[in-house]
Structure 1
Amino acid sequence: MDREISRRDFFDGVAAVAVCAALGSRTRHAGAAAAGHATRLPARSHGLQGDTPDALGVAHALRDGRFWERAGTPEPTGESYDLVVVGAGISGVTAAYTWTRRDPRARVLILDNHDDVGGHARRNEFHPAGRTGPLVGHGGSRSLYAPSAWSPDGKDLLAGLGVKSRGGHLDPDLYPGLLMHDGVFCDRESFGADKLVVLDPGRTTAQWVAELPIAVQARKDLVMLFDDPPDWFPGLRDEEKKEQLAGLTYAGFLRDVCRVHPDAVRFCQTMPNTTWAYGSDALGAIDAWAGADRFTYPGFAGLKLDGTKPSAYNSPRVTRSWAAQDADVYCFPEGNQALVRMMVARMVPGFAGAASVEEITTTSFDYGRLDRPANRVRLRLSSTVVLVRNDGPAETAATATVGYFDGHGVRTVRAGAVVMACWNMVIPHLVRDLPAEQKEALRQAVKLPVVSATAQLRDWRAFREAGIRRARFTGAYWVTAELAPPVSVGSYRCPRSPDEPINVHLVHTPATPGMAPRDAAVAGRRALFGTPYGTLEYGVREQLTRLLGPWGFDPARDIEALTVNRWGHGYAPEYARPWDAFYPDGPFPADTARRRFGRIAIANSDSVPGADADAAVSAAYRAVRELEDRRSL
């Protein structure tokens, strides 16, 4: 307790010191490469990735007003770039890639506080015994959502990278062919007992509901909700019914309109969590209606609403899905980080052995190439940006200055233009002379926390014996456990036999139930950042054992490696009823928040807002266009 606290400890607010933060820039970035490339991590447990204390420490010190007390005077590096991008997630890398496609001779620097590229689009890689080649999984952004309805900018990026999103590379028949279905795990946290119920499409509602460990009246209520709900709003027109739904959460609809047993409401609580990062107590009833299918969001059929078009009250995500011919499309086993690595491979010579769709998953990567002085595009990891300013009045500035913390002090570079592709809530702390109205609008984008764990299993015989490929938990810590989507691309082959090693993905959504989404996000994030990795690891082992133990699962034997990607600032919340009274008529805070400020433009999913890759991509294209328009003045 009496040891001396180093500068890095002060910035982190914890006793963790990253080796890469203490080294010189060239060695430090090689260290970051080792931390971001799973093949160089311990084989047994890959540990915590994503929003680690080292990734967030400087930003938190900046937020709390502690950073500049100890940071010292910024020192110019003498470096000058046509474009500096703050953030190496999908939006930031897309902005750099779009800029260089239009100006191949441009010098570009991308800065990020994390130890890998991709932001929430992370790659988890394992090397189980007996498998030829790595076993690859995603660490957050897993698929392309409804790509047939993407923006023209999003479709342009996919086409330029050679990604044919129609159908993806998923084998949709593998798990059903093995008689493996979705399941729901009624857990003791919700109902005092653990019970797995398989949602076999061949069974009637009454058959699977009869197995639920819930009150008799709740079973009757669920059968009614799924099979024969009445018209809850008799006498109202279609639009009037939708207006009623727009004022309710889904849990409120079940509780106050349908008046079903509390066990029935509890059974439905976690239905939306993996998609929205919060439960039925926060999901708008109007969006639940739009997403209802045979096993989710029951209770709306009796309303006989017009389903040929979305309601004006539906959130943007739901509205986009109406025009789509697809839903989640799986193109790569590592999810959307493949898009990021393909772009980086095209910009940075030698980073990847190949950059094509067919080879990006299995090629080699050299992170030591990312920040070489000879590169026209340089990518500097573990470098938290702490200041961005126009060099002079925003209206007339010809350049901007960007400062970042490199583990020793603040270094600055000069930029002809800057794209802020970080979180909206961080930007007011970096661009301190923004107009007050814009700062306030930026602060309203409170991201929802999400945790994505990937456990590499020795085999998946227990899943096969249980008859499930995915399970939703009704109230336990991890809300879903799902076998990796069977995606094969190029020479990469997904596991096809239950005797083979496989990845299982688990999701935890920390948003605290019973609150509005933004308040729930803040409370949940605070609890998450106080949760050590050991607790997360134990929870994975414990829940998988409860789920699969009756079918022979042994965590000590069957879990061979584990990576937990912690995203305290995860999903960008979309505007949605009943929480955003200004939606759909406006005005929208995002319109004010994303205004260009001199040489500084804003590109991120918060600026749309939207929690999918298309939102990040379209924001990047918009920011580049804004800066190009400014250059032409």
Structure 2
Amino acid sequence: MALGGFRSDDGVTRRDFVNGALVAATALAASGCSAAEAPLDEAAAWDGFGGVGDYARAHGNSHAMQAAGHLVRDGAYDTPPRTTPTGETYDLVIIGGGLSGMAAALEFLGKRPGGSCLIIENHAIFGGEAKRNEFDVDGIRLAGPQGANSFPVPAGPGSRGYDVFTAIGMPRGFEYLPAGGTAKALEFCKDNFEFQYWKDRSPSFGWFFGEQGGAGRWARDIWSDDLARAPYPDAVKADFVKWRSHVAPNGGADQSEAGFLRWLDSMSYKDLIEKVMGLSPQVTAYADPIVASAISGMGCDVTSARAAYGSAMPGFRTPQDLARLLEPEQHSLPGGNDVLTRHFVKTLIPAALRGDRSLDAIMNDSVDFTALDRPGNPVRMRLGATAIRVVHDGPAGAARAVKIDYAQGGKLFGLTARSVVMAGGSWVTRNIVRDLPEPHGAAYRQFHRTPLLVANVAVRNWRFLASLGLTACRWFDGFGYCCNIRAAMAVGRDRRPLDPDMPAVITFYVPVFYPGEGTIQEQAARGRFEMLGTSYADYERRIRDQMARLFGSSGFRQSDIAGIILNRWGHAYLCPQPGFYTGIDGARPARDIIRTAHGRIAFAHSELNGQQNWIAATDEGRRAAEQAIAVL
């Protein structure tokens, strides 16, 4: 997934919540009501159960955070507000405490020892989309990813990400535990993505065809016999085989590698599948949710074919070339890529995590929130703070400082920075950098962000899956389209193997998208409206109904569910439309414009890469930090 791995260069007791009508966050913002003034039952009905531990108050975009962000979007601070000056001046202020922001802070700390740095983060805990959900099921602690998960270990010195990996003390080897009980013969995907396509040949991965499948309903490992057991017409089966095994001809006038990439960026992945390869629209429909959940948040119709190429989708490489490309092993810790953000925090603010630098301590020890924003820290982090205005103190070319206003705890504050890195998303930056030059503004209008829902379901047992011989599933109607249980990684004292009689977390990545129904802007807006307008109770019902339909005949009972946590990401992905990478009609690509600093303000978003992953995020953060350092 773009939120996850780098592939190429480019007993919880079930909580009952108020079932009253949900007032959309947009209405709250338009009313001028602050997040703190939102009715308590309304926020609870939207947020739902958050789990246990330090991340319980920050799962996805919370109701309060959405409301605060929408006030900015809707112009509540277009006129400079009256703020309380903090009296602070920092060498560098970073807006955003995710992987890009932390990488920028690490670069600054290494190159400007003795300098001062503040990270402003709007969530209740650091990490951006690389955070965890935690459950306590009958005394057993479980974790699942809120969004970003899956990463490779960099190959060695000189490889991308290697020096960051080394600087933050990430381990280079991980141990996975064998399954236990009746699951000993099963295979598990190590993340939540590769079973969808990249490594989907396993008898433990199943496809639910429902009524289409007749008596079979479930089919395991459908690619092992070229879809012989799948209910597709023979001609469509042949197209699927061609999609997975053939390489589309290079139709560009320039046959060089650069020309090939420009040609791919001139069309959608749907056009490559259907017009260039001449395959059935059913192939596109099969690929749509894979592309949406793991690459762009949208379907093949609006996603550049180059994005599909960069994420190793079919149609570009022979199976042998693809196998070589996928050789770096992908890893996913219990909480996903929070392992990276917690290692960053331990490096930047050592006292914030109470234990030593072992993987066990960094992953499992609690956060000392009082240490994050402590005076005297070379790097400080201010949580629950939403930046609302960032503007040069005078003309950008001559200004000696940048003024920053932010909202925290229902109050507005102001401080000063000598340089700034904008490490949040494009949808935030375009609204709060108040003197943004028009070339940057026009470039940002080519950035289209798309929603995604990640649901972690804690179950008291998963015998209903094991009895089917499955650990990962794909289906074609109803809520979502896939789910799985990841392989069990040994972390510290936790040596518990995956046993169907024991609790586990089943994760659903759910794109909220409408392929072929309007422009990319219209599809993304419709998806956000649906996701932000649906109560926790309604999503809970949909998940329970889907699990009953999928697994009811194999023994699933509603009482098997111990808890459900929703992570709503309104702007989870950038969807790189055709032309995003190389520009349209000879124009400079939008991402190259954004990589140009504006006075004392530099821009760092993982989305600038076109595929979001931890290496892209850290690369962009470090580049922006270097630009910020250059003006000090």
Identify the TM-score tier after normalising by the shorter chain.
0.7 to 0.9
Do residues 270 (structure 1) and 262 (structure 2) align?
no
Do residues 221 (structure 1) and 220 (structure 2) align?
no
* Per-residue Cα deviation, 1:89-126 (whole angstroms, up to 9, x for no partner): 11112212222233343322211122221111111111
The equivalent of 1:140 in structure 2 is: 147
TM-score, length of structure 1 as denominator length:
0.79
Say which SS state the counterpart of residue 120 (structure 1) adopts. Answer: coil
Do residues 532 (structure 1) and 535 (structure 2) align?
yes
Choose the corresponding residue for 1:468, options 467, 470, 476: 470
Does the C-alpha gap of structure 1 residues 260 and 139 become closer, same or farther in structure 2, counting only changes over 3 Å? Answer: same
Does the C-alpha gap of structure 1 residues 176 and 95 become closer, same or farther in structure 2, counting only changes over 3 Å? Answer: farther
Choose the corresponding residue for 1:112, options 121, 142, 160: 121
Q: Which whole-Å CA distance do the structure 2 matches of 1:261 and 1:324 have between them? A: 27
Mapping of residues 477-496 of structure 1, within 5 Å: 477-493=479-495, 495-496=497-498
The equivalent of 1:312 in structure 2 is: none
Contact 2:403–2:414 (Cα < 8 Å) also in 1: yes
Does the C-alpha gap of structure 1 residues 47 and 237 become closer, same or farther in structure 2, counting only changes over 3 Å? Answer: closer
Q: Which whole-Å CA distance do the structure 2 matches of 1:281 and 1:8 have between them? A: 28
Q: Which whole-Å CA distance do the structure 2 matches of 1:12 and 1:368 have between them? A: 34
Q: Which whole-Å CA distance do the structure 1 matches of 2:352 and 2:154 have between them? A: 28
The equivalent of 2:109 in structure 1 is: 100
Structure 2 counterpart of 1:139, which letter?
Q
Q: Which whole-Å CA distance do the structure 1 matches of 2:541 and 2:310 have between them? A: 37
Contact 2:346–2:362 (Cα < 8 Å) also in 1: no
Do residues 542 (structure 1) and 549 (structure 2) align?
no
Does the C-alpha gap of structure 1 residues 485 and 568 become closer, same or farther in structure 2, counting only changes over 3 Å? Answer: farther
Mapping of residues 141-220 of structure 1, within 5 Å: 141-144=148-151, 147-148=154-155, 154-165=161-172, 168-170=174-176, 177-178=185-186, 181-186=204-209, 195-199=217-221, 203-209=224-230, 212=231, 218-220=233-235
The equivalent of 2:299 in structure 1 is: 279
Contact 1:529–1:568 (Cα < 8 Å) also in 2: yes
Choose 582-591 or 432-441, whichever is displaced more: 582-591
TM-score, length of structure 2 as denominator length:
0.79
Does the C-alpha gap of structure 1 residues 272 and 219 become closer, same or farther in structure 2, counting only changes over 3 Å? Answer: farther
Cα shift at 1:528: 1.6
Cα shift at 1:572: 2.7
Contact 1:149–1:324 (Cα < 8 Å) also in 2: no
Q: Which whole-Å CA distance do the structure 2 matches of 1:177 and 1:171 have between them? A: 13
Does the C-alpha gap of structure 1 residues 441 and 347 become closer, same or farther in structure 2, counting only changes over 3 Å? Answer: same
Say which SS state the counterpart of residue 559 (structure 2) adopts. Answer: helix
> What stretches of structure 2 of length at least 5 have no aligned partner?
1-22, 41-48, 188-202
Choose the corresponding residue for 1:81, options 80, 90, 95: 90
Cα shift at 1:476: 3.0
Q: Which whole-Å CA distance do the structure 2 matches of 1:614 and 1:350 have between them? A: 26
Say which SS state the counterpart of residue 50 (structure 1) adopts. Answer: coil
RMSD, aligned α-carbons: 4.1
Choose the corresponding residue for 1:38, options 39, 46, 52: 52
Say which SS state the counterpart of residue 351 (structure 2) adopts. Answer: coil
Say which SS state the counterpart of residue 453 (structure 2) adopts. Answer: strand
The equivalent of 1:425 in structure 2 is: 427
Choose the corresponding residue for 2:501, options 496, 499, 502: 499
Choose 505-514 or 471-480, whichever is displaced more: 471-480
* Per-residue Cα deviation, 1:536-593 (whole angstroms, up to 9, x for no partner): 2222212122111111011x3111011111111112334x647777379862111112
Q: Which whole-Å CA distance do the structure 2 matches of 1:147 and 1:53 have between them? A: 37
Cα shift at 1:12: 7.3
> What stretches of structure 1 of length at least 5 have no aligned partner?
23-34, 310-317
Cα shift at 1:471: 1.2
The equivalent of 1:336 in structure 2 is: 337
Q: Which whole-Å CA distance do the structure 2 matches of 1:192 and 1:244 have between them? A: 43
Structure 1 counterpart of 2:71, which letter?
A
* Per-residue Cα deviation, 1:448-470 (whole angstroms, up to 9, x for no partner): 21111111110111111112111
Say which SS state the counterpart of residue 110 (structure 2) adopts. Answer: helix
Choose 51-60 or 509-518, whichever is displaced more: 509-518
The equivalent of 2:192 in structure 1 is: none
Contact 2:60–2:567 (Cα < 8 Å) also in 1: yes
Choose the corresponding residue for 1:61, options 65, 71, 93: 71
Structure 2 counterpart of 1:392, which letter?
G
Mapping of residues 382-397 of structure 1, within 5 Å: 382-397=384-399
Cα shift at 1:383: 1.0
Mapping of residues 380-459 of structure 1, within 5 Å: 380-459=382-461
Does the C-alpha gap of structure 1 residues 228 and 522 become closer, same or farther in structure 2, counting only changes over 3 Å? Answer: closer
Identity of aligned residues (%): 26
Q: Which whole-Å CA distance do the structure 2 matches of 1:579 and 1:405 have between them? A: 33
Does the C-alpha gap of structure 1 residues 361 and 224 become closer, same or farther in structure 2, counting only changes over 3 Å? Answer: same
Structure 1 counterpart of 2:69, which letter?
A
Does the C-alpha gap of structure 1 residues 239 and 207 become closer, same or farther in structure 2, counting only changes over 3 Å? Answer: farther
* Per-residue Cα deviation, 1:462-489 (whole angstroms, up to 9, x for no partner): 1111121111222433121111332223
Q: Which whole-Å CA distance do the structure 1 matches of 2:596 and 2:93 have between them? A: 18
Mapping of residues 501-520 of structure 1, within 5 Å: 501-514=503-516, 515-520=518-523
Structure 1 counterpart of 2:607, which letter?
D
Cα shift at 1:153: 5.9
Contact 2:35–2:67 (Cα < 8 Å) also in 1: no
More relative contact order in 1 or in 2 (CA 8 Å, sep 6+)? Answer: 2
Does the C-alpha gap of structure 1 residues 183 and 225 become closer, same or farther in structure 2, counting only changes over 3 Å? Answer: same
The equivalent of 2:596 in structure 1 is: 595
Q: Which whole-Å CA distance do the structure 1 matches of 2:54 and 2:371 have between them? A: 17
Q: Which whole-Å CA distance do the structure 2 matches of 1:151 and 1:20 have between them? A: 51
Contact 2:54–2:367 (Cα < 8 Å) also in 1: no
Cα shift at 1:139: 0.8
Cα shift at 1:268: 4.6
Does the C-alpha gap of structure 1 residues 580 and 107 become closer, same or farther in structure 2, counting only changes over 3 Å? Answer: closer
Say which SS state the counterpart of residue 359 (structure 2) adopts. Answer: coil
Q: Which whole-Å CA distance do the structure 2 matches of 1:173 and 1:150 have between them? A: 34
* Per-residue Cα deviation, 1:218-246 (whole angstroms, up to 9, x for no partner): 24421453279998989989988979877
Contact 1:12–1:57 (Cα < 8 Å) also in 2: no
Does the C-alpha gap of structure 1 residues 287 and 19 become closer, same or farther in structure 2, counting only changes over 3 Å? Answer: closer
Q: Which whole-Å CA distance do the structure 2 matches of 1:12 and 1:492 have between them? A: 48
Say which SS state the counterpart of residue 601 (structure 1) adopts. Answer: strand
Cα shift at 1:391: 2.1
Say which SS state the counterpart of residue 359 (structure 1) adopts. Answer: helix
Does the C-alpha gap of structure 1 residues 466 and 371 become closer, same or farther in structure 2, counting only changes over 3 Å? Answer: same
Q: Which whole-Å CA distance do the structure 2 matches of 1:178 and 1:308 have between them? A: 26
Choose 586-595 or 256-265, whichever is displaced more: 256-265
Contact 1:139–1:565 (Cα < 8 Å) also in 2: yes
Structure 2 counterpart of 1:589, which letter?
A
Q: Which whole-Å CA distance do the structure 2 matches of 1:449 and 1:117 have between them? A: 20
Does the C-alpha gap of structure 1 residues 147 and 20 become closer, same or farther in structure 2, counting only changes over 3 Å? Answer: farther
Cα shift at 1:370: 2.0
Contact 1:250–1:280 (Cα < 8 Å) also in 2: yes
Contact 1:484–1:502 (Cα < 8 Å) also in 2: no
The equivalent of 1:27 in structure 2 is: none
Q: Which whole-Å CA distance do the structure 2 matches of 1:387 and 1:151 have between them? A: 39
Choose 191-200 or 104-113, whichever is displaced more: 191-200
Give the total of aligned pairs: 577
Cα shift at 1:86: 0.5
Cα shift at 1:159: 1.2
Q: Which whole-Å CA distance do the structure 2 matches of 1:417 and 1:436 have between them? A: 20
The equivalent of 2:11 in structure 1 is: none
Say which SS state the counterpart of residue 56 (structure 1) adopts. Answer: helix
Say which SS state the counterpart of residue 177 (structure 1) adopts. Answer: coil
Does the C-alpha gap of structure 1 residues 105 and 222 become closer, same or farther in structure 2, counting only changes over 3 Å? Answer: same
Cα shift at 1:429: 1.9
Choose 94-103 or 403-412, whichever is displaced more: 94-103
Q: Which whole-Å CA distance do the structure 2 matches of 1:520 and 1:149 have between them? A: 41
